[in-house]
Structure 1
Amino acid sequence: MKHILLALLAVSAAATGCKTEDYNDGTTPVANTAYIGAAETTPDAPVTFKRTVQTLDREFSVKLVSPLSEEIAVEFRIDAEAVAEYNRRHGTSYGLLEAIHYRLAQQSAEIPAGKVESDPVTIHFQGLDQLEMNETYLLPVSLTSTSNGLGLLRGSETLYYLVKRSSAITTAADLTDCYMWVPTFETTEGQAPIMGLTAMTYEILVNVPEFTTSIPGQGTINVTSVMGVEQHCLLRIGDSGYPRQQIQLQVGDVHFPEGGENNVIPALTVDPGEWYHIAFTWDIEEEVGRIYVNGRLAYADRLACDSETFDIGQVSKGGSEDTAYRFLIGYSYNPFRPLNGMVSEARIWSVARSEEEIFRDMYEITDPASKPELRAYWKFNEGSGNTAKDYSMYGNDAVCLTGSNNMEYGDRTEGTLKWNNAIEIPMLNQQE
């Protein structure tokens, strides 16, 4: 829409032989119109939420193509008549959201003189836990008139809220330019649940929008660090000399009974922009490591551990690079191995879970506080803030950090954790 507006301005200026700076009142030679800001690029506004949510607020503002010298009021309404037209154009059969499920406190917005945008208008959605599960409802909001007879911009005068109570996960943490650290894992008490394990399982939902290969002006990226401990047990994607999108487990203190390298290198690749549930299990006595993708066994290999236990809570391996060796999500070793993607449902278990268990529980663990073998469980469902709660009985919350931090000497910078509250992760274990 912005490109269209710029094109209109250019055509009008060429036709009149005038320059926009010739208009001292702040207007432009193109005909001015009003529109809904949120509909500038697309008129669809998904409002997708998890099944337990009861209320939500959404905001929109009214905008002008160019400012006016006087204040203008723009009226709008819930446009029930627009539902049929939307369904006709999209081949859908959505029903109108009933009035008991929303509250629109005002029917007009004012745009001050010399400005191009109104204050935000809030729609309060309520009683959402009473809606049918996985059913989409439509709530169109349309501009109707302006106080001075100004026209409405066709295609952006109506915003369609698509309201859906979903059984799927609808919130995830975006670890672009940041990562998660667990402060209490630096204490003896906090790290106890993930030390001295004879079997373990990692689980996580991950989506990497783009597998970049470099940071401009900084360096090469060959690795997407997902979760774990560098040189001990790290789940990651890619490595130097291997395909950029290949799932890999980097492990230390191990040997292959038949010989080989110190890394599990399965021929498994993931696509950018897709959600994957990735799990790794390892039992010291069994000497087999397994990787599961979307709940199904994708790779297994013989692995023997030279130590008697997995110590995921270790914070030092010795030498000059101590800062790299601790449990992190979305970071490992240095800033050139970032995740730069979204995560949800990260877990650590003290058992090697079965394929049946992993497939069944990919998207939720019921009653997590009653499961002592669930040693950490970050759902990443907060939707705001810089902390991810640990839903296991051990309570080791994760916090967001950013930059190249010297973890050894306490040089840690709190990051700004971004959230995506409008996703809907496909629930593959309900599609078979």
Structure 2
Amino acid sequence: MKLKYSIAPLLFAALLSGTGCQEEAEVYPAVYMTDAQSNPDKSMTVEEAPAKTSFTVSSSELARQDVHVKIEVQPQLIDAFNRKYGKNYRVPAENCYAISATETVIEAGFSTSSPVEFTVTSIDGFAEGVTYCVPVSITSVSGGMRVLEPSRTLYIVLKTPVISKAIYLGSGNVYKVPSFQEDTNLAALPQLTLEARVYMERFASSDPYISSIMGIEGVCGVRFGDVKIDPNVLQICHGDYQPAATDKPFDTEKWYHVAAVWTGSSWDIYIDGIYATGVPTQGETVDLSSDNSGGFYLGASYGGGRYMYGYIAEARVWTRALSQSEIANNMNYVDPASDGLLAYWRMNEWEPNEDGSGNVVRDETGHGYDAIGGSSDPQMIDTKWN
């Protein structure tokens, strides 16, 4: 006797011909990727090879006889998956992974198959900051059993950590980008995105309670705190536009990714790739070449004060409004040649300034917007993000 399933996604119904929804639906057993019932993807963190995980195939009812299920890696499915879920995953080279079998069996009297092992055999060809994904699909089932289409494929996501460094910012080491002020092409930007990873050791404890992350005072400043909000609350400051994520206070000694996006119609704040808050705007432009209060800083504002006491990494300026998925997918690293990326300071290395004082962090894009720092020996720490 066929079982009626209590889990809604397992109810596969075919309408009887000519009678519409009023007729009784046909219910039949189906086979599906076990993990894909809850989520289409399954993540594994790969720090070194070999790295292993496993997956199984299930039936919506106990098998009456052995059910043989053939499985196959199908790289051609990744583009549609990326479009549907706003990802930018890549399929690794075939010699970087292996599956232990191309067939598994759900034995009679059981509803789940023997496991199939998936192994990452090499990460030598993996590019920094890229997330890889291997789609594995059910291709055929013995005994005439059908496949539950939404769970036919499991997308195995391979998360490799990005290992880099970060630089400490404080009263003795802030960075200025003087070349922004020299570029008149930056005077009227219709869109803008500022983003960085930050790790705060402490927040401002005196009036005006501001710890500046990056930007230009009053123009496009990203900072913590203000006289109107708590010192550990993220805020954007652009004239009268001052959205603040008051319901998402930050902790000390913890890494966060922050992003401020000027779309032309709004100023929006994202924290760890998730929208936090924003305010509507009136289509104005942003003057990134402004010398207001000293121009563009990392770790300071207002003429070089209002310091940020903590570490910064992966600091970037874009001349376009990044989408939520772009922010979430590229928090740890981005291709320096990415479309619209104006300046990129990874903060993983520095050089002595030519005059012997301070240091320079090079702009990874090659556009020449180098950041000039105050310390001749800035403090650094190792970082690792998945």
Match of 2:281?
303
Q: In structure 1, what residue type is equivalent to 2:379?
A: W
Pick aligned residue for 1:181 from 167, 176, 181: 176
Partners of 1:200 and 1:349 within 8 A in 2: yes
Q: In structure 2, what residue type is equivalent to 1:207?
A: Y
Structure 1 portions without partners, runs of 5+:
1-49, 52-128, 134-165, 215-219, 253-260, 317-323, 402-414, 428-432
- Scaled by the length of structure 2, what TM-score is found? 0.54
2: distance between equivalents of 1:419 and 1:383?
Answer: 10
Cα distance, 1:192 vs. partner?
Answer: 4.3
Give the alignment's Cα RMSD to 1 decimal: 2.7
2: distance between equivalents of 1:276 and 1:193?
Answer: 31
Match of 1:277?
257
Partners of 2:350 and 2:361 within 8 A in 1: no
User: How do residues 12-411 of structure 1 correspond to structure 2 at under 5 angstroms?
Assistant: 167-177=161-171, 178-187=173-182, 191-192=183-184, 194-214=186-206, 220=207, 222-252=209-239, 261-267=240-246, 268-284=248-264, 287-305=265-283, 307=284, 309-316=285-292, 324-334=293-303, 336-366=305-335, 368-369=336-337, 371-382=338-349, 385=352, 386-401=359-374
2: distance between equivalents of 1:221 and 1:262?
Answer: 18
More moved, 166-175 vs 347-356:
166-175
- Scaled by the length of structure 1, what TM-score is found? 0.48
2: distance between equivalents of 1:224 and 1:345?
Answer: 18
1: distance between equivalents of 2:217 and 2:364?
Answer: 24
Match of 1:101?
none
Partners of 1:175 and 1:417 within 8 A in 2: no
Structure 2 portions without partners, runs of 5+:
1-46, 49-122, 128-159, 353-358
Query: Can you list the C-alpha shifts for 1:338-391, whole angstroms capped at 9, x where unaligned?
Result: 00111001111111101111111111112x13x351011111111664111101
Q: In structure 2, what residue type is equivalent to 1:293?
A: I
Shift in CA distance, 336/388, structure 1 to aligned 2, threshold 3 Å: closer
Cα distance, 1:244 vs. partner?
Answer: 1.1
Query: Can you list the C-alpha shifts for 1:36-82, whole angstroms capped at 9, x where unaligned?
Result: xxxxxxxxxxxxxx99xxxxxxxxxxxxxxxxxxxxxxxxxxxxxxx
Cα distance, 1:193 vs. partner?
Answer: 5.4
DSSP 3-state at the match of 1:222: coil
Q: In structure 1, what residue type is equivalent to 2:190?
A: T
Shift in CA distance, 325/383, structure 1 to aligned 2, threshold 3 Å: closer
1: distance between equivalents of 2:260 and 2:296?
Answer: 15
Partners of 2:178 and 2:296 within 8 A in 1: no
Q: In structure 1, what residue type is equivalent to 2:167?
A: A
Cα distance, 1:335 vs. partner?
Answer: 5.6
Query: Can you list the C-alpha shifts for 1:290-338, whole angstroms capped at 9, x where unaligned?
Result: 1111111111321225x4x21112114xxxxxxx141111111156510
Match of 1:419?
379
**Runs of 4+ residues over 4 Å off in structure 1:** none
Q: In structure 1, what residue type is equivalent to 2:313?
A: S
Partners of 1:174 and 1:417 within 8 A in 2: no
1: distance between equivalents of 2:367 and 2:184?
Answer: 9
Q: In structure 2, what residue type is equivalent to 1:283?
A: T
